[in-house]
Structure formats: structure tokens, C-alpha cells
Amino acid sequence: MKKVMVVMGGLSSERSISLISGSGVAEALKATGYDVITYDLTADIKDFVDTLYQEKPDVVFNALHGRYGEDGCIQGVLNLMGIPYTHSGVMASSIGMNKEMTRRIIREAGIAVAEGRIVSVADIRENRDLPMPYVLKPNDEGSSLGVSIIRTSADKENFLKTASPDKKMLMEAYIPGRELSVVILDDEAIGVVEIIPQKGYYDFNNKYTAGAAEHVIPAQLPKDVYDLAMAEALKAHRVLMCNGTSRSDFRLDDETEPEHPRLVFLEINTNPGMTQLSLVPEVVRVCRGLSYQDLVARLVEEASCGK
């Protein structure tokens, strides 16, 4: 049986979620019979490389989230060492982590995105912003960390009070309607989930607090809309050359013109969470009958290097 190193933790603001994902993955792989070791990544990259040389894993399961783990950095190290790893390679990871670069490529592929651009805090302060409502989000963070919805002048002023003067953000027009996510596994669209938060929007707390959001699987949508979401997510996965699994998030605007619902791409996650509340394991279980253990084993068996 293969020796698998589960790498988790990391240096990003998503460290706590990565540790939960990694622990779950490690336990599932052990239960399946793999020889499993875990590694909590820190800034000591020499120790990481030394450990890889000492342990000689057959596969690295990348359970890192956010910067330095999901953006191509660790993938590059593993490529140089010739060690297969789960999820996407350097290029797909680095592009997918950069929301504005992803938007440009996705738009060129013919997928609808919201009007938006990179702005500075000075741009916002000097009224060089989009008409309200709009969304501000970090260009290279996940888990909805740092997201602000600006609906009123008061929202804007509150944001400006705490924003770092040199901070740059992705500004997008707010898309009303429904929150959808589509899971891709092994170059196949698996299913669409609708996320319905109990209050607010699907922020960090709603993602990782039990009972804070309802997951409707499969999403109750008209067949043409459901099929379009599946097709657009698979196109995004392919055009970015993702590997293993990915999750693409959309908004379905069925409020502005109910007779003409509009599906709008938001972002792609090339290394989705693997916690008990994460969408990918849940969608795969409901739509394909694969258990959590089945899923992580499948990702290990299809791990590659250099893609």
C-alpha cells in the first residue's frame, strides 16, 4: 500500500481549516489501509524538504488551503522533487488563486463574469468605484475571508475606517439571486449544490459552522439552468487545466429578470476543503454514492506530478 504524506496547516489565514481538512483526510486514508504520515507545514521549508527526503512518500496529499499551499508554491517544490501530489499543478493552482486572472481567462472562454476590476482603497475613497451594491474581496484569499458587501454609503465608510491604505481588492458588481456551487471530479461534473445561509451571505462563519447554511443537493433548478451550471464549471476546470477535483462558485440571478435567469461565474477553488461541512465530499456522496474514504483514496490513486 502506498505511503502518503498529508500536508496541512500552512501559513495562510485558512490554516485552521486546513488542519481540520488534513486530519480528516489522514484518518480516512489510515482506515482505508494506506501508510499515512502527517506534516504541519510552517515557514521552515528546509525542514519540509528534509522530511520528504527522509520519509520518501509515494504521494503527497495536499490538504493546504490559501496562499503558499494552494497557489502553486508547494506544487513547484514537489515537481522539482518528482513527488506526485493530489489536486492541481503549478499553473492551474497559481491562476485559480488569483481571482482577477481567473476572471480574465474565464471571460475569454465565454463564461459570464460580473463586471469588476482591481481597485485600491484610494480608488474607493475618491469615488472611483462601481455603482452600489458591489462586493469587495481579496484577490488571493479563499473561504470568503475579507469579503465585504457594500450596499450603502454607511457600508463604504465602515470599510474605509479599517482598510489598510495600501490594500488592493477585487471589486465586483453585486449579483442578486441564488448561491450555487458545482463540483468536478476526474474531469466530470458531479453535481450542483445550492447554498442557503440562515442569515447573511455564505461567509467564513456560515461555511464552517454546523447548521449555519442549508445545502440543497442536487440544487432544485430548471433542467437547462442545472445543465448550464454543470457545463460551465467543467469548462472552467478544463480551460484552467485543473486536476483531480475543483469547485466552481456561481450566482444565479433569477430576480432581475425572472423569465431570463442569468448564471454568473464567481471563482474556482482548485483545492477544495475536506472538512465534515465541506461541499465536495457532500456532493460526491449524494450525487455519486462515494464515501469520504472513497473520495480521498481516489484522489491519492490519481495523484500526479508536473501537470
CA distances for 179 relative to 88, 251, 304, angstroms: 24, 5, 32
CA quadruple 259, 200, 270, 21: dihedral positive or negative? Answer: negative
Q: Quick one: which of 15, 174, 3 has its CA closest to 84?
A: 3
CA-derived radius of gyration, the chain: 19
Q: Quick one: which of 252, 304, 250, 244 has its CA closest to 274?
A: 244
Contact 252, 262 (CB under 8 A): yes
| Active site members | 14, 143, 208, 247, 249, 267, 269, 273
Instruction: Give the bridge partners for 185, in sequence order.
Output: 188, 245
Q: Quick one: which of 197, 194, 185 has its CA closest to 284?
A: 185
Q: At a CB cut-off of 8 Å and minimum separation 6, what does 22 contact? A: 6, 7, 8, 9, 38, 61, 63, 64, 274
Q: Quick one: which of 192, 120, 111, 131 has its CA closest to 159?
A: 120
Cα separation, 137 vs 172, in Å, equals 8
